[in-house]
Structure 1
Amino acid sequence: MIEFWLPFGAALLASAFMAWAIGAGSSGATPFAPAVGANAISVMRAAFIVGILGFLGAALQGASVSEAVGSDLVVGLTLPTAAVIVVLVTAAGLMAIGIVTGYPIATAFTVTGTVIGAGLALGGDPAWAKYTEIGTMWLLTPFVGSGVAYGIASILPRESVDERDSVPILAAAVGAIVVNIEFALLASGDRLASLSTVVAERFVPGLAGELGVSLVAAVVVGLAVRVDIARNGLGGLRRFLLVLGGLVAFSAGASQVGLAVGPLVPLVEETMITVSALAAGGGVGLLVGSWTGASQMIKAVSQDYASLGPRRSIAALFPSFVLAQIAVLYGIPVSFNQIMVSAIVGAGAAVGGSDAISRRKIGLTFGAWIGSFALAFALGYGVMSLVP
């Protein structure tokens, strides 16, 4: 028994370090960065709130990506404990470098690259179908995120478009999405469920009932935001911005915790620990990371990438929330830094053009994304090739 628990304990420590690094860097820094840039919330308060919301996202929605990282990246092989430790320490080390230097390293790139490299070195087969799915998401995210943010940021400031109409439309879309998010708390057996499913089953079961619940949620949320903006324009915008930031923080926890605890999934099959419990434990690490180390990265992302106001911040957060939930739904490991930085760049460029963003900073960040995957893959493959 001790032959299992000692290495497993070491793997847990490595996972905790990874969760801390993600909380301090990716999931802890980026969700509220636009709100901080818009002076809607202070840096320290943002770090505190994002930690709590990230934990809730991990506990309620984090199992999907965790299972994908732990089981779907390499075919025909279960990573041994030594490989899990190598994966987590390597990925967390690269993340720590990003935190110290102020350049957001793409967490999903480092973890995915290390897992694939280590798995292939140990004799596993490539999971080409999953790689295609992941690669498509990674490739489209910068274009979709920046494109949607650019479009929204181009429309909101126009005098011909009343904010009492345009912003509530976005709010209505957010409300419809929220009631269709699947939560572990609402699970029926092994099947996750959403609020729309649960409510519809009580009144009008099936697709028609779920669409009805979604429509009601959209109307209620849209009207609430419209009334708030009509009463206090700038205050209403900032309140909606903070709600969006909270939803993005929740989504960050749900998507990023799998990068910290996913490699442990094959190991916990020998214990009584469930994947949901593992994700909740990883959420604690995210929370601690956000509270102790996220402030530096929040400041870097909010100030160095674009000069954001409330409208452009809303434009950046909306596509970030949608993309993160798509990734969680399909169990795709995705970098939240990639999502948020792309959206911030698009929103910043819409109004301020090239003067509103730092081309050098963005170029270095994109280089760090590509380089982190290549380096992580090489380290994972190289280290495990040397292990007897």
Structure 2
Amino acid sequence: MVDVLSLALVAVASAVSLFMAWIIGAGSAGATPFAPAVGANAISIMRAGLVVGVIAFLGAVVQGGSVSAAIGTGLIDGVALSPLAAVVVLLLAGGLMAIGIVTGIPIATAFTVTGAVIGIGIALGGAPAWAKYQEIASVWVLTPFVGGGLAYGLARVLSREWAPESICIPALAASVSAVVANIEFAVLGGPDGGQSLASVVGASLDSVTVHGPLVVTLLFAVGIAALVRFDIHRDEHRAMNRFLLALGSLVAFSAGGSQVGLAVGPLLPLFDTMAIPLTAVLVGGGFGILVGAWMGAPRMIKSLSQDYSSLGPRRAISALIPSFLIAQVAVFLGVPVSFNEIVVSAIIGSGAAITGGAGISREKIFKTLGAWVGSFALSFVAGYVLFIGISML
């Protein structure tokens, strides 16, 4: 009877997990990456929805392991989430997200899931993982300043006459390419973890140089920069749009890798006991994001693209690059992060560089910050109280 009940709870938790993955795909993770390119008329809305779903799915499968592990086993010491606890986590987080959708309150998935896992984990008798909390808090607090600051600086440079696109855009392409060359992918690694393109290719140069990864990184960056520069000289407008599409693809990939853990992370302790491999879990979560992006992202892309079209390609580029970098840092550290927080901060920073802060509603910013903090606090308290109450029944 217990086994049947446990299987039923796993089935319910899996269904709620897919629902959350669907919302993630239909929301900011599916809509934000390509909204600037749609606003610049570089790609149609429906095609953007299709492409972003596939790329986010690949990111979830290839890079989703670190954040999933952090959510599933890294937030509480001494205990593992039971099937009932996983169901409560996902139902609570999913319910708060649904309330946010209906009311228009910007409830962040990362904050609700993290708060719920910690609250329920403590109710189970687990000990707080203070070192991980410090890491998470550092990323959450620094994201608006780092992301907004980088976006502000990039937008300031790109808006200057002494910084022509033929020089700045290839330089940015080289910098982003250097990061891409050093991103660790699970498919390139072995039992000990993922490896980067630079390390894999660089290993084959050991007989020539001891700096193989560095050589590969430089060659990759210079090659991409040369291609972008050639493209700009041929047709600057189309080249800018293509660069926006490339950045959008990288952001979508990063979104899949960083957000899938919020949907499937609570299930990992359960699936570990059932000998279900992590890759299969990530494929399931990625599939939910894919379907959500295909079904719901086009509508949000249409809405967001109207806002992005007023930014222009330079400000959009200034917002997307920090978003990509911060998301990759979060994936590398295994920190659950709000994609809304990343993107909103970058948009505000790039906008402030041009307008000097005019048109930016401070009241809206403080309300958004309050909603984010409230999301975490509410999910933490509700998770703790709810699970204590369930345990007493």
Q: TM-score range by the shorter chain?
A: over 0.9
What is the percent sequence identity of the aligned residues? Answer: 58
Residues 1-388 of structure 1: pairs in structure 2 closer than 5 A: 1-204=3-206, 208-303=211-306, 307-388=310-391
* Preserved CA contact (<8 Å) 1:145 1:342: yes
Shift of 1:362: 3.1
Instruction: Give secondary structure in 2 for the equivalent of 1:34.
Output: helix
Q: Which moved more, 1:366-375 or 1:107-116?
A: 366-375
Q: Aligned equivalents of 1:36 and 1:348: distance in 2?
A: 18
Q: Aligned equivalents of 2:239 and 2:287: distance in 1?
A: 32
Q: Aligned equivalents of 1:219 and 1:344: distance in 2?
A: 28
Instruction: Provide, for residues 252-307 of structure 1, a one-character-per-residue CA deviation record: whole Å limited to 9, x for no partner.
Output: 00000000000011111112311122111100000111111223433454445893
Q: Aligned equivalents of 1:250 and 1:241: distance in 2?
A: 14
What TM-score, normalized to structure 1? 0.95
Q: Aligned equivalents of 2:344 and 2:42: distance in 1?
A: 19
Shift of 1:46: 2.2
* Preserved CA contact (<8 Å) 2:18 2:263: yes
Runs of 5+ in structure 1 lacking a partner?
none
Q: Aligned equivalents of 1:253 and 1:345: distance in 2?
A: 23
1:100/1:24 Cα in 2 relative to 1: closer, same or farther (>3 Å)? farther
* Preserved CA contact (<8 Å) 2:70 2:335: yes
* Preserved CA contact (<8 Å) 2:311 2:351: yes
Q: Aligned equivalents of 2:283 and 2:132: distance in 1?
A: 25
Q: Output the amino acid matched with 1:383.
A: L
Shift of 1:184: 1.4
Runs of 5+ in structure 2 lacking a partner?
none
Q: Output the amino acid matched with 1:187.
A: G
Q: Output the amino acid matched with 1:118.
A: I
Instruction: Provide, for residues 67-111 of structure 1, a one-character-per-residue CA deviation record: whole Å limited to 9, x for no partner.
Output: 111001011111111111111111122223333445543211111
Instruction: Provide, for residues 189-242 of structure 1, a one-character-per-residue CA deviation record: whole Å limited to 9, x for no partner.
Output: 232111111111112279611111100011011111111111111211111011
Q: Aligned equivalents of 2:237 and 2:229: distance in 1?
A: 12
Q: Aligned equivalents of 1:26 and 1:372: distance in 2?
A: 17
Instruction: Give secondary structure in 1 for the equivalent of 2:132.
Output: helix
Q: Aligned equivalents of 1:99 and 1:306: distance in 2?
A: 24
Q: Aligned equivalents of 2:71 and 2:210: distance in 1?
A: 31
Shift of 1:49: 1.5
Shift of 1:356: 4.5
Q: Aligned equivalents of 1:300 and 1:346: distance in 2?
A: 21
Q: Output the amino acid matched with 2:214.
A: L
Q: Aligned equivalents of 1:302 and 1:276: distance in 2?
A: 34
Q: Aligned equivalents of 1:291 and 1:83: distance in 2?
A: 31
* Preserved CA contact (<8 Å) 2:25 2:292: yes
What TM-score, normalized to structure 2? 0.94
Q: Aligned equivalents of 1:128 and 1:254: distance in 2?
A: 24
Q: Output the amino acid matched with 1:128.
A: W
Q: Aligned equivalents of 1:207 and 1:367: distance in 2?
A: 51
Q: Aligned equivalents of 2:62 and 2:127: distance in 1?
A: 32
Q: Aligned equivalents of 1:42 and 1:363: distance in 2?
A: 34
Shift of 1:183: 1.0
Q: Aligned equivalents of 2:304 and 2:124: distance in 1?
A: 38
Instruction: Give secondary structure in 1 for the equivalent of 2:357.
Output: helix
Shift of 1:358: 4.3
Q: Which moved more, 1:88-97 or 1:234-243?
A: 88-97
Q: Aligned equivalents of 1:234 and 1:374: distance in 2?
A: 46
Q: Aligned equivalents of 2:178 and 2:373: distance in 1?
A: 35
Q: Aligned equivalents of 1:102 and 1:313: distance in 2?
A: 24
| CA root-mean-square deviation | 1.8
